[in-house]
């Protein structure tokens, strides 16, 4: 962090904030201020230059057309890539995640280049659109289980410089190998809305810690309850689908001393 105030750049919220992804900025500011840190959220409009000096950059999801518009305005701007290379943290959701990769495929089947910040290539999921709750266990970072919801047609193929953020228990995520999201240096990408940093407090703290160093503990009881409630909601359809297995497990549990 360059100054005593942590700056969070919310990139193009007019077009990249589907399902309230701008709430990721609110979550970061809330958790930073809870530790006595000053935090300023800078909304970067579609016609504004992306600043070079923010500490954290947030890109949210967007519909196909909105995503292409965001791409037009990001193209040719080097500031995000330079800031990340200099150590800034970046968190990108769904359309934002795809835009940071080498390339992605739109609904017109045309492959377009992304910013190339992530070693990821996105194509179209072969099956129906991935819609619904997501539950995953973090593997690329040590931030516990992750909860969110997805609504996308893109997948994500990770290259050798990138590692998966999490292993899926419920949901489609990247569409390959039960992986969800990506971690590459200080950049985290995911298909999870929620907003994801509201639902996943340890992931939010990871991004803050990337720029400010170790953080004081900050327990948020409503978030803890929300996480458990969402985890149960994500698991409910599985429990309904496999009642026999559940019954089997239950009788095994009863037999144990
Ligand atoms: N339009 C993109 C897709 O369908 C991203 C969707 C989103 O950001 N929710 O894959």
179-234 confidence digits (pLDDT tens) = 999 999 999 999 999 999 999 999 999 999 999 999 999 999 999 999 999 999 99
pLDDT in tens, 117-132: 999 999 999 999 999 9
In contact, 223 and 201? CB cutoff 8 Å: yes
Helix (H) or strand (E) segment spanning residue 182: strand 182-184
pLDDT in tens, 88-115: 999 999 999 999 999 999 999 999 999 9
Ligand 1 contact via 195 beta carbon (within 6 Å): no
Query: Best mutation site among 22, 59, 60, 64 for ligand 1, i.e. most ligand atoms within 8 A of its Cβ?
Result: 64
Query: Best mutation site among 151, 175, 194 for ligand 1, i.e. most ligand atoms within 8 A of its Cβ?
Result: 151
Residues 163 and 166: their CA atoms lie apart, in Å, by 9
Sheet containing strand 179-180, strands side by side: 145-152, 130-138, 166-170, 179-180
Instruction: Tell me the average pLDDT across 236-244.
Output: 77
Can you give the pLDDT at residue 256? 35
Tell me the pairing of strands 182-184 and 187-190: antiparallel
Catalogue the E-assigned strands of 38-165: 38-44, 56-59, 89-93, 103-105, 111-113, 120-121, 130-138, 145-152, 157-158
Can you give the pLDDT at residue 246? 53
Closest CA to 80 of 118, 127, 31, 112: 118
Q: How far is CA 22 from the centre of its chain?
A: 12
Question: Which residue did the predictor score with more confidence, 252 or 119?
Answer: 119
Fold of 6-255: Rossmann fold (3.40.50)
Can you give the pLDDT at residue 237? 86
Average pLDDT, the chain: 93
């Amino acid at each position: 962090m360059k100054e005593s105030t942590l700056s969070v750049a919310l990139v193009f919220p007019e077009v990249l904030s589907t399902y309230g992804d701008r709430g990721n900025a609110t979550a970061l500011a809330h958790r930073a201020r809870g530790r006595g840190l000053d935090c300023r959220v800078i909304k970067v409009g579609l016609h504004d230059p992306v600043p070079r000096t923010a500490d954290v950059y947030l890109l949210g999801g967007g519909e196909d057309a909105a995503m292409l518009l965001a791409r037009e305005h990001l193209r040719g701007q080097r500031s995000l890539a330079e800031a990340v290379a200099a150590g800034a943290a970046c968190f990108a959701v769904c359309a934002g995640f795809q835009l940071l990769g080498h390339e992605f495929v739109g609904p017109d089947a045309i492959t377009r280049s992304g910013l190339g910040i992530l070693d990821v290539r996105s194509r179209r999921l072969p099956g129906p659109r991935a819609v619904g709750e997501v539950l995953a266990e973090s593997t690329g970072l040590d931030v516990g289980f992750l909860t969110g919801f997805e609504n996308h047609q893109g997948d994500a193929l990770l290259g050798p410089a990138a590692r998966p953020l999490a292993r899926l228990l419920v949901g489609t995520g990247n569409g390959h190998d039960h992986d969800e999201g990506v971690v590459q240096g200080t950049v985290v990408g995911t298909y999870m809305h929620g907003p994801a940093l509201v639902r996943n407090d340890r992931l939010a703290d990871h991004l803050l810690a990337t720029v400010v160093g170790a953080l004081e503990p900050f327990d948020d009881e409503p978030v803890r309850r929300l996480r458990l409630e969402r985890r149960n909601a994500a698991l409910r359809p599985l429990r309904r689908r496999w009642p026999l297995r559940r019954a089997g497990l239950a009788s095994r549990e009863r037999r144990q001393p």
